[in-house]
Structure 1
Amino acid sequence: MIENSAYLGRYWHMLDDGRMQCDLCPRDCKLHEGQRGACFVRMRQNNQMILTTYGRSSGFCIDPIEKKPLNHFYPGSSVLSFGTAGCNLACKFCQNWDISKSKDMDQLMDQASPNAIASAAESYGCKSVAFTYNDPVIFAEYAMDVADACHARGIKTVAVTAGYMHDQARRDFYAKIDAANVDLKAFTDDFYFKLTGSHLQPVLDTLCYLKHETDVWFEITTLLIPGQNDSNEEITAMCQWIRNELGVDVPLHFSAFHPDYKMADIPATPVTTLIRARDIAIHEGLQFVYTGNVHNQAGDTTFCPNCNTPLIVRDWYQINQYLLTKDGHCPDCGITIAGRFDQHAGNFGRKRIPIAIMEHV
């Protein structure tokens, strides 16, 4: 069962003019009684912050961890994935717009307490639980409660996020998270403002925080949109920033856009664009660069950055070869590969298994 107190949100304060300011993310929504924030799920009610989607999900699935995408976090393992509804960004190119842009709470048909989710993950043999499909920032309190329940059972937690948070919420949230994939949507504030309704700097702040102040394993994804963020100059500048501020061993995924939502008139990203971006990133010194949403074996494979041995050979989400030693070293030259690894890869493969979670009263 879900206690009523669980619906109360943190991260707000009252303004002198009587409005309530949400302090979760840089949108700083200022609410009158009964109003919701831009994310649509954080609401002022009776002078408290209410989480309208606490304990409610748009669905539960068991996925390969590589789908998040995370290539260096227990490869081949399974992850129980779920999201809610709403989002604190307004991306015109959203690939999950039917969930993240939904204002229809009736789409949230599945209900589950944190303990029920952790129990299901354990029952299905999942290594981790992922907060995904829409951004977990907006249901941070629910995600943190689920994380506590998962950790009590030895299950890891994963956040798939745009990284758009204020500092205090960021610190509280990532104290509960074991791994993250952060969308770095572009490397200009103009792109962020015009196409997402947000700003670049808070995302860079999140990435630097993860690298320098936490032990969270994280990887970065950039969705390349033709004519918007795919120039050689922008990709080069982004890769140089990652190299200089985060380090050469942070995995970077270049993903292919497909026409959707409010940008249905933009063509899909050619495979050649992803390969070009990967070549630029490698030229700038990044060690682990991948391509996503396309079939490209070189872009799926983890190579040793020292001797170029193909250590993890993938075909989409299927692992066909796994050569890492049990402590994550290259068997040929002995260097340590950045990430979190078991002695053997998991064998979950490319399956996607929708599940229902039952509450035990």
Structure 2
Amino acid sequence: MHEAMFWHKKDNGLVFCELCPKGCSIKDGHRGFCRVRENRGDVLYTLNYGKVSSYALDPMEKKPLYHFYPGNLILSLGTVGCNLRCGFCQNWQIAHGDPNTLKLLPKEAVDLALEQRDKGLPCVGIAYTYSEPFMWYEYVYDTARLAREAGLQNVLVTNGYAKEEPLKKLLPYIDAMNIDVKGFTDKYYKENCVGRLAPVIRTVEIAQRQCHVEITTLLVPGLNDSPEEIRELVDWVAGMNPDIPVHFSRYFPNYKFDLPPTPVETMHRAYEMAREKLNYVFLGNLGDPSTQNTYCPRCGKLIIKRGGYQTEVVGLAGQACRECGQAIKIKG
């Protein structure tokens, strides 16, 4: 048990959590929406500090991050708890269940990542992923600072549902984020995720100014895959920076959703629409290697070839296209 950050005590004996937009007011002996922050004696504690439910040495492309240290590995850690309730959740067993966990303190996590390097593996850092890392805030904050001191990269794979103050306090230690933008209407968030769109938009807009950001949107048939909604999403990203990589992922039935998989035609339509205004667009869960590759936005030459999680950099000269000299936004 570890005292939480970002909360205050109310006069009526409740504690008010200020970590995420849920803004839970929590009675003594009760937990917030995320299930991992609890009021004990008018003090808010985080219950998952150092508790790891899942860990692996993953390809960076699995996060997915396609323009951040391509072809490298990253130690990936997850815990329990989430502040959204997406009906299509991919990791619901750990986000909303009660899995077994092991204890891994911040220094131990950093040492484990460094051990992979000592073995000769191309491990560049630590990814906080699988479950929602903002619900693991205190652990991520402590670990990320130690990792930065050790020369490791820090990655968040997140739903972006956080308040501005905690986000800004953590960002100096974060090198890259993949942010799930679940859909591009408030209605979709309310009905399918028990959340709101605006805080996620704010997170993306703040984060992309300070670290490498890629966006993932799971296209769910009939709910968030209309041409109008995809166009609004694309226009928003293009208005920030057309170099931000966008991943459209194909939905398959999971958790509480039993809709049929997203039609392949819908995926390709989103891909073509996005490529009109964005320089780097990818399709996931589709099995089409051509939509996983990076191409030069000027001359169209192949820059990075991908097949599954196999990655080959074929068209870069430094940070530019080998064919035409166009700058290519890739870190690492």
Task: Give the TM-score normalised by structure 1.
Answer: 0.88
Matched with 1:211 is: 208
Give the counterpart of 2:324 among 305, 322, 333.
Answer: 333
- Secondary structure of the 1:335 match is coil
| Comparing 166-175 and 73-82, the one that deviates more | 166-175
- Secondary structure of the 2:8 match is strand
- Residue 260 in 1 paired to residue 250 in 2? no
The one-character-per-residue Cα deviations of 1:163-185 (angstroms, maximum 9, x if unpaired) are 01111111112222110000000
1:149 to 1:108, Cα distance in 2 relative to 1, 3 A: farther
Kindly state the Cα deviation for residue 321 of structure 1 after the two structures are TM-superposed. 4.4
Given residue 281 of structure 1, which amino acid in structure 2 is its aligned partner? A
Matched with 2:110 is: 118
Is residue 53–residue 84 contact of structure 1 (8 Å, CA) maintained in 2?
yes
The one-character-per-residue Cα deviations of 1:47-83 (angstroms, maximum 9, x if unpaired) are 2221111011102100000000000000000011111
Matched with 1:222 is: 217
The one-character-per-residue Cα deviations of 1:90-130 (angstroms, maximum 9, x if unpaired) are 1111011111112x2xx232211111111111111210210
Kindly state the Cα deviation for residue 222 of structure 1 after the two structures are TM-superposed. 0.2
Is residue 258–residue 268 contact of structure 1 (8 Å, CA) maintained in 2?
yes
The gaps in structure 1 that reach 5 residues or longer are: 342-361
Moved over 3 A (4+): none
Give the counterpart of 2:143 among 142, 146, 156.
Answer: 146
Matched with 1:314 is: 306
User: Distance between the aligned counterparts of 1:176 and 1:33, measured in 2?
Assistant: 33
Matched with 2:266 is: 273
The one-character-per-residue Cα deviations of 1:140-175 (angstroms, maximum 9, x if unpaired) are 110011111211211100000010111111111222
Matched with 1:167 is: 164
Given residue 253 of structure 2, which amino acid in structure 1 is its aligned partner? P
- Secondary structure of the 1:262 match is coil
Q: Where do 1:128-143 residues align within 5 Å? A: 128-143=125-140
Q: What count of residue pairs does the alignment treat as equivalent?
A: 327
Given residue 340 of structure 1, which amino acid in structure 2 is its aligned partner? K
Matched with 2:280 is: 288
Matched with 1:155 is: 152
The gaps in structure 2 that reach 5 residues or longer are: 118-122
Task: Give the TM-score normalised by structure 2.
Answer: 0.96
| Comparing 188-197 and 117-126, the one that deviates more | 117-126
The one-character-per-residue Cα deviations of 1:176-196 (angstroms, maximum 9, x if unpaired) are 211000000000000000100
- Residue 22 in 1 paired to residue 17 in 2? yes
User: Distance between the aligned counterparts of 1:32 and 1:117, measured in 2?
Assistant: 33
- Asked which structure has the greater RCO (Cα within 8 Å, sep 6+), the reply is 1
User: Distance between the aligned counterparts of 1:161 and 1:218, measured in 2?
Assistant: 11
User: Distance between the aligned counterparts of 1:259 and 1:153, measured in 2?
Assistant: 41
Given residue 14 of structure 2, which amino acid in structure 1 is its aligned partner? R
The one-character-per-residue Cα deviations of 1:277-309 (angstroms, maximum 9, x if unpaired) are 0101012x1000000012112211000111111
Same amino acid, percent of matched pairs:
39
Kindly state the Cα deviation for residue 18 of structure 1 after the two structures are TM-superposed. 2.2
User: Distance between the aligned counterparts of 1:296 and 1:128, measured in 2?
Assistant: 29
Give the counterpart of 1:238 among 233, 241, 245.
Answer: 233
